[in-house]
Chains A and B, each alone.
Chain A
């Protein structure tokens, strides 16, 4: 499988001269299978460019939303396949305990927050609610599971053949854990990430910032590395960078976190445009 990062920023798009290398767009990752099947993970602002470059083939795309915070869905309104007849778009995402996915998505895709209604989109749209479970999309076997993040968020484990990608862009497994990490049994997200070839994981804060943001649903870079070590992954992509962190800040924070934690796996900070071949 081929994995391309279209948006790596968390919380809020942060374009500008200080964020050129890591990127300013919010979460969107393209996964392309060997047969050309395309998945998009999350619909942040990075999704707009991903949609432009999908071209006319394939005419089907499957979008897996981890949750419905704005930085993960804002690109939906500007995703060209949704507006074009002839495209088939499957949208997967979590409902809440009282509202289905359609009702939750419509809170954004309706006036006054957006001029076009979900039902007015020109493509053939299929919605699928996910919480915890397995399903198949083309060559991909997908497992979803609820993880620790406010307002109902899931992570995904995507397998094609022997290759496993784990995607947990918003995740605070250290919440309420005085000495992180706990045993795997009591660690949110472990089952999704265990043994993955590539883990894309929340790393929004520095270790100095995290204590001021406990409960916001995100991890420090160090916690991201510790979680990856517990899960026994082969490569970690720290992701969902804080909008206040410049390229220079991130260079320093990533280097310091790696030096402090000494991981025995590859750590490749998530940069917009980066491509991984599994």
Chain B
């Protein structure tokens, strides 16, 4: 039998599909489950081409850096803070899309916690800061 995502995760993906904000969704292990079309424009790759990937990969493949160009530790990324500490997190930093373009972004991430304290994953909403 094929596995099925929890309903909260399914609804989060469907909401992301309809919103014009870039959204990035991971499961409780941090594995990338989905990013929507607005996110594709910043990340430089269609989700269908990227597909699922573990946090060890997505936390580095987009090369997050601070304002001085120093690589950000993965555990400081808002999405992983939200996931590991079960709280909303926010920060601004730079990433390089898979198309090689550098973007300064702001990120707000929040954990997906379902009924009965089920930790289901986390969602990041992000947008590019105007130049």
A195 at the interface (CB under 8 A from B): yes
A161 at the interface (CB under 8 A from B): no
Which residue of A has the minimal Cβ distance to B9?
Answer: A186
B56 at the interface (CB under 8 A from A): no
Total count of chain A residues near the partner, CB < 8 A: 25
Q: Which residues of A contact B11 (CB under 8 A)?
A: 148, 175-176
* Contact present for A176 and B7 (CB under 8 Å): no
Which residue of B has the minimal Cβ distance to A95?
Answer: B115
* Contact present for B6 and A148 (CB under 8 Å): no
Partner of A188, one of B7, B115, B116: B7
Q: How many A-B residue pairs have CB under 8 A?
A: 57
A191–B10 alpha-carbon span in the complex (Å): 13
Partner of B3, one of A94, A96, A185: A185
Q: How far is the CB of B44 from chain A (nearest CB, A)?
A: 24
* Contact present for A187 and B7 (CB under 8 Å): no
* Contact present for B7 and A184 (CB under 8 Å): no
With A146-B115, A152-B115 in contact, is A194–B1 under 8 Å at CB? Answer: yes
* Contact present for B14 and A176 (CB under 8 Å): yes
* Contact present for A184 and B4 (CB under 8 Å): yes
B101 at the interface (CB under 8 A from A): no
Most chain A CB inside 10 Å of its own CB: which residue of B1, B17, B18 = B1
Which residue of A has the minimal Cβ distance to B118?
Answer: A132
With A175-B14, A186-B10 in contact, is A195–B5 under 8 Å at CB? Answer: no
A186–B118 alpha-carbon span in the complex (Å): 18
A185–B6 alpha-carbon span in the complex (Å): 9
B114 at the interface (CB under 8 A from A): yes
A131 at the interface (CB under 8 A from B): yes
* Contact present for A132 and B14 (CB under 8 Å): no
The B1-59 residues at the A interface (CB cut-off 8 A) are: 1-8, 10-11, 13-15, 17-18
Q: Which residues of A contact B1 (CB under 8 A)?
A: 191, 194-195
Which residue of B has the minimal Cβ distance to A131?
Answer: B115
A190–B3 alpha-carbon span in the complex (Å): 9
Q: Which residues of A contact B (CB under 8 A)?
A: 94-97, 131-133, 145-148, 152, 175-177, 183-188, 190-191, 194-195
